[in-house]
């Protein structure tokens, strides 16, 4: 696998393979290393681009304040037109780009993501007290907080132990995220609500979920289907919040099929 690596304009990018452009966006507290195995397989079919979001991994010197700010920084070095795949918080970034920069995107894939991560009954999501606790813990001991968050992402999966180990190895292989970016990311998870804008997304959309996910309850899949009736969805029966690790081969198949079906 041939790799091109750049760190211009602060953000760290890696590009692999040839063909249609595919951008992979990681989640909160993580970095682009979580996509290593995924990029290796998908780069056999596509030109895969992996970025460390501002404040994370090799982009730890950068930071952001709003979702628009975060997205603008990523777009500066991104391919002109690509399929964007975002995991968890990365799904919000990809959705923002689909809504506000439609000429830069020809397909949207969200993974274990939600247009509104915070619970707002009857909408299912992360309870406000949980998000507040994470914020308080982050200020007190941010390394322990990230470890707890990683554990939450694997919880419920039959391969939780292996998934947890793989996620921790990926995160620890690169510099620690900076605290400002971590807090800004938590604010986005608590504040952003794109539910009523989803009907404005004009590109083909695939939504991927883990049936056992404790952060994005599986009921969200049905709720978003009502908001995006033309989108496709797939539920990984054995996965929690990281289906690209738990059901890796099936995950790559779903992504490849979607991109090939939407030239």
Stretch 19-44: mean pLDDT: 96
Superfamily of domain 3-261, CATH level 4 = Alpha/Beta hydrolase fold, catalytic domain (3.40.50.1820)
- Residue in the block written with tokens 């996910």: 213
Query: What number is the average pLDDT over the span 1-19?
Result: 73
* Segment 204-213 mean pLDDT: 96
User: Which are the contacts of 49, defined by CB distance < 8 A and separation ≥ 6?
Assistant: 13, 14, 15, 16, 21, 22, 23, 24, 78, 79, 82
% helix, strand, coil for the chain, step of 5: 45, 20, 35
Note the pLDDT of residue 152: 79
Q: At what angle do helices 142-154 and 160-172 cross, to 10 degrees?
A: 140
Provide the β-strand partners of residue 205: 108
Task: Give pLDDT, residue 62.
Answer: 94
Instruction: Express as a percent the part of the chain with pLDDT over 70.
Output: 97
> Band of the pLDDT at 197, cuts 50, 70, 90?
very high
pLDDT bracket for residue 5 (50, 70, 90): low
What are the sequence ranges of the domains in the chain?
3-261
Token pair in block for residue 140? 């007190």
- The confidence score (pLDDT) of residue 3 equals 55
pLDDT of 4: 54
**Confidence band (pLDDT; 50, 70, 90) for 134?**
confident
pLDDT, tens digit, 9 for 90 and up, residues 151-161 = 878 888 888 88
Residues with catalytic roles:
88, 213, 241
């Amino acid at each position: 696998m041939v790799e091109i690596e750049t760190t211009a304009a602060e953000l760290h990018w890696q590009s692999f393979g040839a063909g249609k452009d595919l951008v992979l966006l990681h989640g909160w507290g993580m970095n682009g290393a979580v996509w290593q195995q995924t990029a290796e397989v998908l780069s056999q079919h596509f030109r895969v681009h992996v970025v460390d979001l501002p404040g994370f991994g090799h982009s730890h010197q950068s930071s952001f304040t709003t979702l628009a700010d975060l997205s603008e920084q990523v777009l500066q070095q991104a391919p002109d037109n690509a399929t964007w795949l975002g995991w968890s918080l990365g799904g919000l970034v990809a959705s923002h780009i689909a809504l506000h920069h439609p000429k830069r995107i020809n397909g949207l894939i969200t993974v274990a993501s939600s247009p509104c991560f915070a619970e707002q009954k009857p909408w299912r999501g992360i309870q406000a007290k949980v998000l507040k606790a994470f914020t308080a813990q982050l200020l007190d001991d941010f390394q322990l907080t990230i470890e707890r968050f990683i554990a939450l992402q694997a919880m419920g999966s039959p391969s939780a132990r292996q998934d947890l180990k793989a996620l921790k190895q990926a995160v620890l292989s690169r510099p620690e995220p900076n605290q400002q970016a971590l807090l800004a990311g938590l604010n986005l998870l608590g504040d952003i609500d794109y539910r009523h804008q989803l009907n404005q997304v004009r590109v083909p959309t695939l939504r991927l979920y883990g049936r056992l996910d404790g952060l994005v309850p599986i009921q969200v899949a049905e709720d978003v289907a009502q908001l995006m009736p033309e989108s496709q969805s797939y539920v990984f029966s054995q996965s929690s919040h990281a289906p690209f690790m738990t059901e890796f081969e099936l995950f790559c198949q779903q992504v490849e099929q979607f991109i090939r079906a939407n030239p």
